[in-house]
Amino acid sequence: MRIFLTDDLTEAQKEDVMNLLIEADNDFIPPLSSRSSTVNQNPASTDPEFKIPLEYFDELNTQKFILATDKGRIVAFLSYKDDMLLKIKEQEEVVTYISTVIVQKDIRNQGIAHKLLATCIKKCNKSKTLVSSATWNKNSAYGIVLYDFGFAPFKVIENDNDNGVHTVYFYRTFENHKKIMINTTCHWLALIGTLVALLLIAIFLYFAKYELLLQVFKKDLLLISDTHILEFLADIDNVFYYIHAAGITAVSLCMMLIIVIAFCEHYNKKHKK
């Protein structure tokens, strides 16, 4: 699968995008065919037979795209607007606004939307641009992806369009990106640091055993009967054996924990919608 940015769609790409819009029409609240804009969710038509999102598609054609293609055909896309003015927390901000993310139904839950969003955010991070998007409160799949990338809600329009569903607006700053990177780095450094510390402890205990035995022989314990010396040394050896085994076990468990966490993070990213 190829993912790339484009400012303009070819005629064939426009047809693929329209097909995806029609397929996903009723997945959105309200349906795309009833919207007059990609930014707000005000209805354009109440005709139940109006199922082709023409007005929505016309506005999409004025935006930029990140496309996911398979064998030359678009199977998912993200559309966005650069340099859009948006009021965030009582202040006008220039943002990159993500208006639409659609993935073909039969390949959803494979992390494709996650990859599209990651590509968009990578582009915005380079220019240190604030990013915004909106969805309805029951769209938990997209909401989780936004939270994963450090988005935070800043406005909620309750009972939008009188349909009992709330519209939630999110934004993400470049500072949020830095916080996520710092938290992730600290998370892995803590795990690796724990592993290194356990390894050092295991090595220390291994050599400490022989140092202690050396100190024993330097004392007058050799004057004790051979049987008592052998029993004493055996006790020391058993104690250090169990301590050393416990250290190796702790190191192994820590390594397994790191592997499990890495696998879970990879799995979550791959299977998010």
Asked whether the predicted pLDDT for residue 241 surpasses 50, the reply is: yes
Cβ-in-10-Å burial (0-12, 13-18, 19+) of 94 comes to exposed
CA-nearest of 115, 101, 149 to 3 is 115
Q: What is the pLDDT of residues 54-91, one digit of tens each?
A: 889 999 999 999 999 999 999 999 999 998 988 888 88
- Write the CATH number of the domain with boundaries 2-172: 3.40.630.30
CB contact at 8 A, 70 and 9:
no
The stretch 155-175 carries a mean pLDDT of 80
Asked whether the predicted pLDDT for residue 234 surpasses 90, the reply is: no
**Separation between Cα atoms, residue 161 and residue 46, nearest integer Å:** 12
Q: How confident is the model at residue 176 (pLDDT cuts 50, 70, 90)?
A: low
Cβ-in-10-Å burial (0-12, 13-18, 19+) of 118 comes to middle
CB contact at 8 A, 82 and 64:
yes
Q: What is the dihedral of CA 246, 249, 254, 259, to 10 degrees?
A: 180
pLDDT score at 141: 86
234-252 residues labelled b (16+ CB within 10 A) or e (exposed) = eeeeeebeebbeebeebbe
Q: Is the Cα dihedral 267, 129, 8, 33 positive or negative? A: positive
pLDDT score at 70: 94
pTM of the model: 0.64
Q: Report the relative pairing of strands 165-172 and 130-136 from DSSP bridges.
A: antiparallel
